[in-house]
Structure formats: C-alpha cells, structure tokens
Structure 1
C-alpha cells in the first residue's frame, strides 16, 4: 500500500490532535513537515515526534516538501487562501477543521476549487467515530427502530461551532439525503463576535428529500442533559423510527427503545470524550482518509460534499430567521450576502440566562 507524505499547518490543540492521528497511522502516512508561526512550538514538536522539516512560511513548505496531504488547523477566518495554495501545489487530499468557511460564498468557492483540481477533502466532524455514535448508527442500520421518521439534534454549543457537527451527523445518520427546505429561528448577538460567529440560540425544522423530518437546537436555550462543567459534551442526537428510537451523546451515553428490546429501555455508557478517546477516534478518521486515497470508491464519511451541504443548511437557517420565510434548497440567487454581518445589524440584544436558570 502507498504511503502518503503529509504537511501540517497549525500546532494548537486541534493541530496536535491531527498530528496524533497521522502518527497513529504511520504505516500509511509520513508526517514530513510542520508549519507554525511559533518557533518554540515547532522545535518542541520536532524534538518530541522527530519531524524532519519545520517551517514558518507555508509557501516555502509546499515548494520544498511537495506533500500529498495538507492538513491545517486554523481559525475559520483562514480557509480559502490555504486551499488555493494547496491546489497550486497539486496536493491529493486536504484535511481541515470545521466549519469549512466563514461565508457561503467562500464555502462554494472551496467546493469548486477542490472539485476542479481533483482534491479529496475531509472535514473534522469526527464525533461520528465515537463509540456511542457507532452504537446509534448500528441500531439505526439494523432496522430495529423501523423506518426513520424524525431526527432531533441538540447541542449547547452555538450554531457555527457545535451546530456544524450536528447538522453533519443528521445528514450522515439519514444516509446522506439532502434537505429540501429549512425554516429557522435565531436570536441573541453576543456570540456573533466569537471566533465561530453565531447567534446565541437557534431552532430550526428541516425536511429531507427522503421525507424524514429534522429538528436542530443550538445554543444556550438548548436542553441541558449534563452538569455545566461538561458544556462541550452536552450534545444529543436522537433518531425516531416507526418502531422505536435511539439516541447518543458526545459524552458517551446512549439509549434506545426498539421492537426487539421487549418493552425495556436499553442504554449504556461508552467511552466518553476524554483525551485518549479523542486520539482513538482521530486515528480511525485518519485511517479512513488513507483508504479513500487508495480507492475513490471508499468515500470518507466526513467528505467535503456532505460538509458543504451542511454549511448551506446553516446559512439557510439564519437566512430563514432573518427574512421570516421558508428557505428552499439548494440555494439559488444571491448567496453573496454576509449573513453574520446581517445578523449583527438586525438582531436585537437580548438578556441571556445563567447556567442555573436555563430552561
């Protein structure tokens, strides 16, 4: 099997998670170069992991290393320019963080550029590799809850932070069926200045092309299932079928009521979102990228097509809320509107609740 040369840009928390994913698949990937604005981080990572080449200039890194795979872990404000750089240097694959862009126009540009250059792209919606989500996926695919009728995603994180994950998981658990229309509500503007700018809360209804309904809640008014210190793992995906339901959480819990559970509610606690689990699921995510590079028929579950449509859904939720109408998909007409700027201008400031008083 071929071994793919990797260049990694960004050595923050997420960048190091990606690094561990490639190192865990050392039989398939060679981490040839790392790039960062911090000389201190570069030297520390070089010494710890034995990386041959370090750079502070990504252009120079590409020219000298000529990687097969480019992985970058940067804020959402830095996306298109790096993908343009990778395309100029003929990479085979890109591994990137979510969300894929800071505007729908940029997301569409990224999609076109990668398709035109034959670049395979994976976006790190990696929680679907969690044991609890694998359990949910297996139960849905077994048919034990019957035909899927409704998918409900809830996350305490805001729309373009955690919401991008859970829209992706709704599409994934529904077999990739796309959304026909979206109707949404958003309010609160405090998080519009975040690194992942979003309204403070959103609620949306979707209809998928296979007639499955979807509901998504993101933000501070979403139901809290866990204690406040577990805010970032306080997420739940529930799938309702004709003969039961199944749900899974990022924190590892799952539950189900199925036609074969004999009237009992099933449930358990899988491995939770701990550092060792993050590395384990990143390893599986990265392994599947190698398989996809070997054989294009083995499409990665976190591919750009599903992420691009997920981003379109997020945009449609905000557009629906601001224009007070249903938004049909795929989007047509003017997609150049800066929806974040529009919400900053139009959304009123509203009081938020403390963690103890959320409902």
Structure 2
C-alpha cells in the first residue's frame, strides 16, 4: 500500500491531536513537514518526533515539500486562503478542523474549489468514531428500533463550536439524507465574540428528505446530563424509531429501548471522552483518509460535502431566526453575506 506525505500547519492542542493521528498510522503516512509561528514548538517537535523539515510559512512549506496531504488546525478565520494554497501546490487531500468556514459563501467556495481540483477534503467531526456512537449506529442499522421518525441532538456547547458536530451526526445517523427546510430560534450575544462566533442558545426544527424530523439545541439552555466539569462532552444524540429509541453521548454512555429488549432499557458506558479515547478515534479517522486516497470509489465518513450541507443548515438556523421565517433548502439566490455580523447588530443582550 502507498505511503502518503503529510504537511501539518498548527501546533496547538488540536494540531497535536492530528499529529498523533498520523503518527499512529505510520505505515500509511509520513510526516514530511510541520509549520508553526512558534520557533520553540517547531524545534521541540523536530527533536521529539524527528520531523525532517519545519517552517514558519505555510506556502513555502507546500511549495518545497509538495505533500499529498495538507492538514491544518487553525482558527476558523483562516480557511479559504489555505485551501487555495493547497490547490495551487497540487495537494491531493485536506484534513481540516471545524467549522469549515466563517460564512456560507466561503464554505461553498471551498467545496467548489475542492471538487474542481479533485481534492479530497475531510472535516474533524470525529466523535462518530466513539464506541458509544458506534453502538448507536449498530442499533439503528439493525432495525431494532424500527424506522427512524425523529432525531434529537443536544449539546451544551454553542452552535458553531459543538453544533457543527451534531448537525453532522444527525446527517450521518440518517444515512446522509439532506434537510428540506429549517425553522430556527437564536438569542444571546455574548458568544458572538468567541473564536467560534455563535448565539448563546440555538434551537431548530428541520425536516429531512424521506420525512424524518430533526431537532437540535445548542448552548446554555440545553439540558445538562453531566456535571459542569464535563461541560464539553455533555452532548447527546437520540434517535427515535417506530419501535423504540436509542441514544449516545460524547462521554461514552449509551442506551437503547428496542423491540428485542423485552421492555428493559439497555445501557452501558464505553470508552469516554478522555485523552486515550481521543487518540483512538483520531487514529481511526486518519486511517480512513488513507483508505479513501487508495480507492477513488470509496468515501470518508467525515467528507467535506456532508459538512458543507451541515454548514448550510447552521446558516439556515440563524437566518430563519433573524427573519422569523422557514428557510427552504438548498439555499439559492441571495444569501446574507455575514449572518454573524447581523446577529451582533440585532440580537438583544440576555439578562
């Protein structure tokens, strides 16, 4: 099997997790170069992992190394320019963080460029690799809860931080069926100045092709199932069927009430959201990229096309709330240039 050259930009917490994912698959990937604004981090990394080349400029790195894979873990303010650099230097695949853009126009420009250049892009909506989510998917696919009728996602994180994950997981658990319409509510301005600008709370209802309904709630009014020290993994995806239901949490818990459970609630606690679990799921996420590069007929569970539609849903939630109207998808015609700026102007401050 071929081995793919990787160039990595960004050595913060998420960058190091991506690095470990590639190192865990050393039979499929070679870390050829790393780029960071921190000379100290670069030298430490070079000594610790033996990375052959380090850079402080991404374009110089791409021009000299010509990697197969360009992975970047940067703030969402930097997206399209990096994709354009990758296209310019013939990169075959991109691995990026969420959210995929700072506007719907930017997300669509990224998607169009990747499709035109044949670049395979994946987005790190990696929680679907958790064993609890694997259990949920197995129950749903078995048909033991019957046909899906409703999907509910809740996260204590805000819309463009954790909500982007759980919109993606709603699409994933429903077999990729796209949303036909969205009705949304948002309020609160405090998180609009966050590194992942979002309203403090968002609640939305949507209808997927095929008739499945979906509900998502993100932010401080979302129900808390865990203690405050587990704020970030306090997320749950629930699937209701014609004959039962099942749910999974980021913290590893899962439960199911099914046709074959004889009236009992099946439940368990699998590997939870801790460093070991993150390393394992990042390794699996990364290995699937190698498989996708190997086979043009394959795809990746976190491919950009799904994330692009997920981002369209996030935009529709905010647009529906601001215009007090249902938003039909796919969005066509005039699109608000900066929905975040509009929310900063128009949303009241919460008390």
Coarse TM-score class (shorter-chain normalised): over 0.9
What TM-score do the two structures reach when normalised by structure 1?
A: 0.97
Is 1:313 the counterpart of 2:319 in the alignment?
no
Matches within 5 A, 1:318-337: 318-337=318-337
Q: TM-score, normalised by structure 2?
A: 0.99
User: Residue 288 in 1 paired to residue 249 in 2?
Assistant: no
User: What residue number does 1:177 align with?
Assistant: 177
Once the two structures are superposed, the pairs formed by residues 248-327 of structure 1 within 5 Å of their partners are 248-327=248-327
SS, match of residue 231 in structure 2? helix
Q: Secondary structure at the match of 1:16?
A: helix
Q: After superposition, what is the alpha-carbon deviation per residue over 1:192-246, rounded to whole angstroms, capped at 9, x for unaligned?
A: 0000000000000000011100000000000000000100000000000000000
Match of 2:188 in 1: 188
1:337 shift after superposition: 2.2
Cα distance, 1:59 vs structure 2: 1.2
After TM superposition, what 4+ stretches of structure 1 lie above 2 angstroms from structure 2?
A: none
Note the alpha carbon deviations across 1:45-70, whole angstroms, 9 max, x for none: 11111100000011111111100000
Matches within 5 A, 1:1-359: 1-351=1-351
Give the CA RMSD over aligned residues: 0.5
Structure 1 residue 117: Cα displacement: 0.4
Unmatched segments (≥5 aa) in structure 2: none
CA drift of 1:335 comes to: 1.8
Q: Distance in 2 between matches of 1:155 and 1:95?
A: 24
User: What is the distance in 2 between the residues matched to 1:346 and 1:296?
Assistant: 46
Report the count of equivalent residues: 351
Query: How far off is 1:336 after superposition?
Result: 4.3
Question: Structure 1, residues 282-325: CA drift from partner, whole Å, max 9, x if none?
Answer: 00000000000000222001000000000000000000000000
Q: Which secondary structure does the structure 1 equivalent of 2:259 belong to? A: coil
Residue 108 of structure 1: CA displacement? 0.5
Distance 1:244 1:159 in 2: 28
- Consecutive unaligned residues in structure 1, runs of 5 or more: 352-359
**SS of residue paired to 1:337:** coil
Q: Hey, what's the Cα distance between the residues in 2 that align with 1:73 and 1:59?
A: 15
Name the SS of the counterpart of 1:206 in structure 2.
strand
